[in-house]
Amino acid sequence: MKIFLDSANINDVTNAYNMGAITGVTTNPTIISRENKKFDDVLAEILAATGPEILVFAEVLALDAEGMIKEGRAIAAKSSNIVVKVPALAEGLKAAKVLSSEGIKVCVTVCYSPTQAILAANAGATFVAPFVGRLDDIGENGLNLVQDIRDIFDAQGIETQIIAASVRHPIHVIELAKMGCDIATMPFKVIQQMIANPNTDRAVAGFLKDWEKVPK
Ligand code: E4P
């Protein structure tokens, strides 16, 4: 399963990229707002800090299809690595259809149901992003939504890739990988939690201590 970073923070991007952990960076308007920098500057910084294999996701703000298409074209023109995010609304699907037909990679985001995912795929979206953690937050099981979409896409031979978004902890990551989710996007904190293990720390410290006993 591919891992994407869900952050626009340049330190997080650089760290995750240098670890070889990620092949994509996802943003949304909230994530961009945390950086206190202009949207264009944030995107340029992320693109400059990463290699040509990294996809960078940026979301439109318009609520009508015409506005989303205009914004999407402008965002996509910045780099061939850009993926345009549109919301899982009727207007978003209209925009996804047009932008996809122009060869622009589109992610239908804020997906909360299997039916939205089916429509996103039919509209030509390259990616669909179900929000796992936010469903958990309201007492539903976000992982079940991803499993449903996985089952449907497999049964129908749909090639749209599933990006599990709103991933909150390593157990989400493990379960998503087991069910064959294509991609999980997560904050840097979760990537750090994935690598952290006190046994590894203890083992490394023990090796260093024992090395002191080796005659020099
Ligand atoms: C994807 O890019 C989503 O915007 C993101 O994963 C939302 O995550 P949150 O629920 O932690 O804000």
| Best probe residue, ligand 1, of 107, 185, 190, 191 (max atoms within 8 Å of C-beta) | 185
Nearest CA to ligand 1 atom 5: 166
Q: How far apart are CA 46 and CA 142, in angstroms?
A: 29
Which domain, by its residues, includes 160?
2-211
The pLDDT profile of the chain, 216 residues, written as one tens digit per residue, is 999 999 999 999 999 999 999 999 999 999 999 999 999 999 999 999 999 999 999 999 999 999 999 999 999 999 999 999 999 999 999 999 999 999 999 999 999 999 999 999 999 999 999 999 999 999 999 999 999 999 999 999 999 999 999 999 999 999 999 999 999 999 999 999 999 999 999 999 999 999 999 999
Residue 163 CA: nearest ligand 1 atom is: 1
pLDDT at residue 11, rounded to an integer? 98
Is the Cβ–Cβ distance between 155 and 167 less than 8 Å?
no
Nearest CA to ligand 1 atom 10: 166
Active-site annotation holder among 38, 78, 85, 213: 85
Residue 97 lies in a domain: yes
CATH number, position 158: 3.20.20.70
> Which amino acids bring their CB within 6 angstroms of ligand 1?
6, 26, 28, 129, 131, 133-134, 165-166, 185
Q: How far apart are CA 169 and CA 134, in angstroms?
A: 13
Active site residue 213: no
Nearest CA to ligand 1 atom 4: 28
Virtual CA dihedral for 163, 151, 117, 110, nearest 10 degrees? -40
pLDDT at residue 107, rounded to an integer? 98
Residue 89 lies in a domain: yes
Residue 22 lies in a domain: yes
Residue 73 lies in a domain: yes
- What's the total number of domains in the chain? 1
Residue 216 lies in a domain: no
Residue 110 lies in a domain: yes
pLDDT at residue 66, rounded to an integer? 98
